[in-house]
């Protein structure tokens, strides 16, 4: 490495955020740019550890170890330390098409498996990746790479979220003619409408889409395959189809009163907020506004945090976040050792903003909703109840504790309770086989569905997961699809696989 003793000389520096009182007034990026001196020292902390787990990209019993994309992190850090930022980006691009996305929204699985992190604070890989991509964007160095080879094969990619974009990008660079079908009015899927702007600026997504378009990827918007766009057209006009539609079925609140006006799913709420910011919201979306209202967010995780942060920026009078699970431990539990991703307590940006604004962490653990009360058809309060997790029939499930009910004022209820799987309309039209969880049945080797020319990737195949896993799925499915279509062509194009 560039500085073998760097990990002994420099301490980790965390991302700096704009002051809460400033950042909650807008939807601009909530972080403060990091300077090159700091990033150089942070990259110097990367050890010559021999066996690097940071880019292992494997799972053990459902636990992630390292970057799913296999990013060459030690090499990238060494290049940054030695001042070759463009070289570092080139090295990133060999395994990762969109580091500008993950450097903003990924939880940094790589850092959880960093060798230094076994006994000290891990290398700030995410901050280094962010600096590199910001440098490239800021200096106009993130340019199109138009493929020189064309196979004559046509592939339709359905869905333009992270897996769809990654799939289209790889298929295109392997020489295939690619058309991406997106049912929304803008490409990007979750990246555009599911992640708020302060976390991932829409201009970043738009810039990447523009680059892909210059590289000859075509986008058809307002085109819902199976509804606006007949499946038969895709089957007849394209040599293959890759389904990257995500897992958009949100888990719904089952408590009485969940049908009242003012109860939204997380995606309904976040999409409406982004569409208002972009100036293209419908009348109903304009009503999904937390301004001057008491907000109850049901569910934790990144999506719950985004709902808290968005509500605060809209001017909520109060925000309470109910989490049915117990709080994670402050340190790794014995059954969660390094190099597994650490399942420890974190206080994210939304909770910190609520704490400063309202005087307390908004999270209430081991709590769920028993009833949603209303007045004239609109939500007015939520009856919450504490739960305990008990074993029953070989399963552990939450059980309400009698006498622990409390009523919370609520003008808006947002359910951020996760996703149950992909929507079924297109799956049923194609009569595709599904697995036990309702995902498209396609193995991780060839990504083929029960129809040989139809492939599946991302959350639609794997189940709800992270953006970085969706990108990995999209790339891998693209390689499998290309090999199926172009058996006679060597797909190992330099720098791509």
**Distances 63 to 133, 338, 444 between C-alpha atoms, Å:** 28, 11, 17
**Position 487 pLDDT exceeds 80:** no
DSSP string, 28-59: S--B-PPPHHHHHHHHHT----SS--TT--EE
pLDDT digits (tens, 9 = 90+) for 390-401: 998 889 999 999
Mean pLDDT for the stretch of residues 23-51: 96
Q: How far apart are CA 374 and CA 259, in angstroms?
A: 10
Question: Is the CA virtual torsion 264, 269, 271, 273 positive or negative?
Answer: positive
Residue 493, pLDDT score: 38
- Confidence band for 216, pLDDT divided at 50, 70 and 90: very high
**Position 296 pLDDT exceeds 60:** yes
199-205: long-range pairs with CB below 8 Å, 24+? 199/30, 199/104, 199/105, 199/306, 199/309, 199/349, 200/101, 200/104, 200/105, 201/28, 201/29, 202/274, 202/278, 204/100, 204/101, 204/104, 204/137, 205/101
Lowest mean pLDDT among 160-164, 234-238, 313-317: 234-238
**Position 489 pLDDT exceeds 60:** no
By percentage, how much of the chain surpasses pLDDT 90? 89
User: Can you tell me which residue has the tokens 């569905």?
Assistant: 449
Residue 497, pLDDT score: 40
Residue 62, pLDDT score: 80
Mean pLDDT for the stretch of residues 250-254: 93
Structure tokens belonging to residue 370: 């028993």
Residue 86: burial class (beta carbons within 10 Å; 0-12, 13-18, 19+): middle
Mean pLDDT for the stretch of residues 456-468: 96
Residue 19, pLDDT score: 97
Instruction: Let me know: does 491 contact 482? Beta carbons within 8 Å.
Output: yes
Q: Round the average pLDDT of the chain to a whole number and report it.
A: 94
Lowest mean pLDDT among 1-5, 35-39, 117-121, 149-153: 1-5
pTM of the model: 0.95
Instruction: Let me know: does 202 contact 438? Beta carbons within 8 Å.
Output: no
Q: Higher-confidence residue: 86 or 497?
A: 86
> β-pairing, 63-65 with 58-60?
antiparallel
Give the chain's domains with CATH numbers. 6-138 (1.10.1060.10), 154-248+420-485 (3.50.50.60), 252-417 (3.50.50.60)
Mean pLDDT for the stretch of residues 27-52: 95
Residue 488, pLDDT score: 52
Residue 287, pLDDT score: 87
Residue 50, pLDDT score: 86
Residue 293, pLDDT score: 98
pLDDT digits (tens, 9 = 90+) for 336-385: 999 999 999 999 999 999 999 999 999 999 999 999 999 999 999 999 99
Q: How far apart are CA 299 and CA 325, in angstroms?
A: 9
Residue 381, pLDDT score: 98
């Amino acid at each position: 490495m560039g500085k073998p003793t760097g990990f002994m000389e420099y301490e980790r520096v965390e991302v700096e955020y704009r002051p809460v009182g400033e950042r909650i007034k807008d939807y601009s990026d909530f972080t403060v740019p990091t300077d090159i001196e700091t990033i150089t020292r942070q990259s110097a902390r990367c050890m010559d550890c021999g066996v690097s787990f940071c880019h292992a990209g494997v799972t053990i019993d459902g636990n992630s170890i390292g970057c799913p994309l296999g990013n060459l992190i030690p090499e990238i850090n060494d290049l940054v330390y030695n001042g070759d930022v463009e070289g570092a980006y080139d090295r990133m691009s060999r395994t990762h098409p969109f580091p500008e996305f993950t450097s903003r929204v990924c939880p940094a699985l790589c850092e959880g498996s960093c060798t230094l992190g076994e006994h000290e604070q891990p290398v700030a890989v995410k901050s280094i990746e962010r600096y590199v991509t910001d440098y490239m964007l800021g200096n106009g160095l993130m340019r199109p790479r138009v493929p020189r080879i064309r196979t004559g094969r046509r592939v339709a990619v359905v869905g333009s979220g992270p897996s769809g974009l990654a799939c289209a990008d790889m298929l295109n660079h392997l020489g295939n003619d690619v058309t991406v079908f997106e049912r929304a009015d803008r490409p990007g899927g979750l990246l555009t409408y599911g992640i708020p702007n302060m976390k991932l600026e829409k201009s970043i997504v738009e810039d990447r889409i523009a680059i892909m378009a210059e590289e000859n990827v075509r986008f058809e918007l307002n085109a819902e395959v199976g509804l606006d766009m007949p499946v038969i057209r895709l089957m007849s006009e394209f040599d293959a189809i890759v389904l990257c539609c995500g897992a958009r079925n949100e888990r719904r609140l089952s408590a009485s009163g969940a049908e009242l006006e003012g109860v939204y799913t997380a995606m309904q709420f976040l999409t409406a907020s982004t569409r208002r910011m972009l100036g293209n919201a419908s009348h109903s979306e304009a009503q999904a506004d937390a301004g001057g209202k008491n907000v109850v967010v049901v569910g934790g995780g990144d999506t719950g945090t985004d709902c808290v942060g968005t509500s605060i920026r809209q001017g909520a009078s109060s925000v309470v976040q109910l989490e049915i699970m117990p709080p994670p431990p402050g340190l790794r539990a014995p059954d969660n050792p390094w190099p597994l991703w650490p399942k420890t307590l974190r206080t994210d940006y939304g909770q910190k903003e609520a704490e400063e604004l309202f005087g307390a962490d908004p999270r209430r653990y081991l709590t769920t909703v028993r009833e949603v009360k209303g007045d004239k058809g609109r939500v007015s309060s939520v009856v919450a109840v504490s739960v305990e997790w008990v074993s029953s029939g070989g399963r552990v499930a939450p059980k309400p504790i009698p006498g622990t009910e409390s009523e919370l004022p609520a003008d808006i209820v947002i359910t951020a309770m996760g996703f149950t799987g992909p929507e079924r309309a297109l799956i049923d039209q194609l009569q595709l086989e599904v697995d036990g969880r309702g995902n498209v049945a396609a193995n991780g080797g060839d990504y083929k569905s029960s129809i040989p020319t139809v492939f599946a990737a991302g959350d639609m195949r794997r189940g709800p997961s992270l953006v970085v896993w969706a990108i990995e799925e999209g790339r891998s499915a693209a390689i499998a699809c290309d090999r199926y279509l172009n058996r006679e062509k060597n797909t190992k194009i330099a720098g791509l696989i």
